[in-house]
Amino acid sequence: MQVSALQKARYAYQPKLPLILRGNISDIEAKKGEATQSEADQAEIRKLFANTYGMPIVSFVKGSNSISSKKLNVGVILSGGQAPGGHNVICGLYDALKKANKENVLYGFCGGPSGIIEDKYIVLNDDIINEYRNTGGFDMIQSGRTKLETEEQFKICTENCHKHGINAIVIIGGDDSNTNAAVLAEYFKAQGEDICVVGCPKTIDGDLKNKCIETSFGFDTACKTYSELIGNIERDANSARKYWHFVRLMGRSASHIALECAIETRPNICLVGEEVEAKNQSIEDITNYIARVVASRAAHGDNYGVCLVPEGLIEFIPSVKVLIREINDLIAEKADEFNTLKTTESKIAYIESLLSDGSKKVFNSLPAQIEAQLLLDRDPHGNVQVSLIETEKLLIETVKKRLAQMKANGEYSGKFNAQNHFFGYEGRCAFPSNFDADYCYSLGYNACLLISNGLTGYLSSITNLSEPADKWNAGGIPITMMMNMEQRNGRMKPVIKKALVELSGAPFKFFEKNREDWALNTRYMFPGAIQYFGPEEVCGQTTKTLSLEQGKSIC
């Protein structure tokens, strides 16, 4: 593999661990706290997870254990979309296993969860691990989106674990992947199998979090990467002074990325899906808000600006959310008939004929391009793929029409020229920031401790993350603690509840306090590229969101 000078330098970076994880593994003890319950739907979740429900939160403290030296064969899986730092989770897990017992073996199942089904793997060794330390991407063993959820799949997993003498599986993934980890852990327990399943919280969207999972890994790096690009666009906008830039950002189910990037870069407009839903706003309401800001800036001679749009915004608009739910259910229910239709026009006409009157009105109000995008192939859960819906283009068109009306009424005399952007894949495989390099390595290292203590059905947890790494805490939480019941493919299923932007939380309040000033005045911030070498206050800082959530001030 050809490597850059930066990659060579990153190989040499030694990630920082919480103080408790820096000593001998035999000197670390698992301290159990109070029993837990699921986020909601306790009776249903308890019934589905009879063997793993209600387990306590665990923290690691100084003490002793006699099981850490036991020989272990562990399998690791990367599941779902890429996020910066995944390689370091594997490196931390590998280093901890080898420190506990040099005879321990780490199997990397290739291509995601399908790797364990197909028994496709590599045995990880020093040469492989050292080639990927502190690097972006998931290319060490690749990822995939196969769901581990059927009895047949679980039986194959069991057979392949027996074949290799595997004692534990670590699943590195987001909410869906870790939901599957919980289901697999429950299956093993119910079958009397002594195979531990541990998860690590990954998603750049930032929606896998609670008090014990303060942030999911990759969020920090992705936001810094997007913020650099947004800052570049702001500088360009401030130079040319003739374009409005509409930037759609990753974040299907929550607006964490958009909010973090707004606090980092201070654009003129940032839409927050959770606020749109809370205020029951329509596309017309959003359009009018953007048009008012455009007109107010134009009145001061500023015919330019930057507007951030979360990827999942369209699903937060209540009327459109109802429409999408109807379409999802119809496509699932009428799949055979729908799939026989060959043209986009025939599919639009077919769905339109089945919609309720309210949803039909909303559907007909959308441009034909957006109508078509709402009918594209569903994700594995039967939901619309919002990443394929060009919401920023929709808003550009609706704002353009509204401004024309305002101009005809003498309410606006400026110029509106718009550019659209979508930042998605650009942030998924960047070199992890020092924060993510440290955090991910700690998550993997910590996962080894959970395995050594036989803590199956747990998610690796590192907390106190706004402090330096030596003050971080280590432990684990039962995955069932984060779960509720939701409708997927027309059926109620147990899933990890997504964490949305809290409108009463410190990050949103900071944004809310400043957004009017940022809208009318040009307060752009230019974060620049991620810094890996230099003063700790430059290279070691975490997200503004996390700092605000933990009561820290930001500049």
Q: Indicate the DSSP class of residue 61.
A: E
Average pLDDT for 296-309: 98
Average pLDDT over residues 200-209: 95
The pLDDT, as a whole number, for residue 65 is: 76
Q: Taking residues 61-75, what's their average pLDDT? A: 85
Say if residues 264 and 258 touch (Cβ distance below 8 Å): no
**Taking the CB of residue 327, how many other CB atoms lie within 10 A of it?**
21
pLDDT in tens, 418-429: 999 999 999 999
What is residue 68's predicted lDDT score, i.e. its pLDDT? 66
- Stretch 193-215: mean pLDDT, rounded? 96
Using pLDDT thresholds of 50, 70 and 90, give the confidence band for residue 25.
confident
How far is Cα 207 from Cα 230, in angstroms, rounded to an integer? 21
* Choice among 81-90, 106-115, 537-546 with the minimum mean pLDDT: 537-546
Give the model's confidence band at 113: pLDDT under 50 very low, under 70 low, under 90 confident, else very high. Answer: very high
Beta bridge mates, 109: 121
Amino acid at site 191: Q
* pLDDT tops 70 at residue 263: yes
Q: How confident is the model at residue 365 (pLDDT cuts 50, 70, 90)?
A: confident
Residue 56 has pLDDT above 90, yes or no: yes
Q: What is the pLDDT of residues 318-339, one digit of tens each?
A: 998 899 889 988 988 888 999 9
Q: Is the pLDDT of residue 200 over 70?
A: yes
Residue 203 sits at the vertex; the CA angle it makes with 199 and 205, to the nearest 5 degrees, is 150
Largest CA distance in the chain: 80
How far does the chain reach from its first CA to its final CA, in angstroms?
Answer: 41
- The CATH code that applies to domain 220-428+504-533 is 3.40.50.460
| pTM > 0.85: yes or no | yes
User: pLDDT tens across 417-458, in order?
Assistant: 999 999 999 999 999 999 999 999 999 999 999 999 999 999
Domain positions in the chain: 21-218+432-496, 220-428+504-533
Contact between 496 and 207 under an 8 Å Cβ cutoff? The reply is: no
Task: Give the β-pairing of 458-463 and 196-201.
Answer: parallel
DSSP reduced 3-state for 130: helix
Is-contact 196 169, C-beta < 8 A?
Answer: yes
Asked whether 509 and 516 are in contact (CB, 8 A), the reply is no
Q: With 70 as the cut, is the pLDDT of residue 231 above it?
A: yes
- Across 424-538, where does the E strand assignment appear? 458-463, 473-478, 483-488, 491-496
pLDDT cut 70: percent of the chain above it: 98
pLDDT at 161: 98
Q: Beta strand 196-201 with 168-173: parallel, antiparallel or unpaired?
A: parallel
Where are the extended beta strands (E) located within 441-543?
A: 458-463, 473-478, 483-488, 491-496
Q: How confident is the model at residue 487 (pLDDT cuts 50, 70, 90)?
A: confident
Alpha helices in 300-390 (DSSP H): 313-316, 318-333, 335-340, 344-354, 357-365, 368-373
Q: Report residue 381's pLDDT band, with 50, 70 and 90 as the boundaries.
A: low
Q: Note the pLDDT of residue 380.
A: 67
- Both tokens of 247, joined, read 């930037």
Return the active site residues.
Answer: 205
pLDDT of residue 535: 92
Looking at residue 291, what is its pLDDT? 98
pLDDT at 202: 96
- Given a cut of 80, whether residue 108 has pLDDT beyond it is yes
Range name among 23-27, 89-93, 163-167 with the lowest pLDDT average: 23-27
Compare 436 and 65 and report the one with higher pLDDT: 436
Comparing CA positions, the residue from 248, 252, 314, 258 lying closest to residue 283 is 314
Q: Which long-range contacts (CB under 8 A, 24 or more apart) does 536-541 make?
A: 536/468, 539/434, 540/434, 540/435, 540/468, 541/435
Closest C-alpha among 106, 188, 114 to residue 155: 188
Confidence band for 300, pLDDT divided at 50, 70 and 90:
very high
- The predicted model gives 506-523 an average pLDDT of 98
CB 441, CB 200: distance < 8 Å: no
Mean pLDDT score of the chain = 94
Span 69-93, mean pLDDT?
96
CATH class (in words) of the domain with range 21-218+432-496? alpha beta
Cβ atoms of 478 and 463 closer than 8 Å: no
Cβ atoms of 418 and 246 within 8 Å: the answer is: yes
CA–CA distance, 529 with 137 (Å, rounded to integer)? 18
Rounded CA separation 399/393 (Å): 10
pLDDT band at 382 (very low <50, low <70, confident <90, very high): low
Read off the pLDDT band of 388 (50, 70, 90): confident
Question: Stretch 192-220: mean pLDDT, rounded?
Answer: 96
**pLDDT at site 2:** 79
